[in-house]
Every structure is written in structure tokens, then in C-alpha cells.
Copies of this chain bind each other. A is one copy, B any other.
């Protein structure tokens, strides 16, 4: 049934639907990082980062492995960045059409 797919798509989207989690993904853009590198790079508490990381992991977007005391997180599928970049492009497009709408009125 299609509704199963919609449910799964919604879960992936929900996982990335938070500014903190998007920022985490950007930090992981050029390679894996441990929690101890991630949370000082953002002004946010460590337990909070851990929970956001686990949301992304549960959605299948991240994986983790242990390296001594550290836990290192990495992106499973680079296409998540295509998704985020597409959304950015759409937002730019919204600005552009507002701008042309404005121009056609104000001149």
C-alpha cells in the first residue's frame, strides 16, 4: 500500500525537520565526527546533541561506531544533502518570485 510509503517518507522528513539536526548534518558533510567535536561547534548542551543524533540514527540517516571512549557518527547516504540542497534552492526560488511580484507592482 502507498500509505506505508508515505508514512516512511514522512518519518525521514520529520527527522531532518529541525534546525539543530540540519546543522549537525552540515557538520558531517565533509566526513564523520564524534559527539565531542559536534556539540562544541554548536551552542547546545551535550545531552541535547546526543538525542538529536539518535533521532537521525533511528531514521536511518546516520550510523555510528565506537572508537575508544568516543562515538563517531557518519552519514549513511549522501543523497540527504541533495534533499537539503533542493530545499535551499526552493527557498531561493520563493525569494525570487516574491521579488518579481514586487517589481511588477512597484516597478
Contacts and interface: CB of A to CB of B under 8 A. Distances in A.
Nearest to A18: B10
Interface residues of A, number: 38
Interface in A1-57: 2-3, 5-14, 16-23, 26
Interface of A: 2-3, 5-14, 16-23, 26, 60, 76-77, 79-80, 82-84, 86-91, 93-94, 97
11 contacts: A2-B23, A5-B88, A6-B22, A9-B87, A10-B18, A10-B21, A10-B22, A13-B22, A60-B91, A79-B86, A83-B87
A12 to B, nearest CB: 5
A56 to B, nearest CB: 12
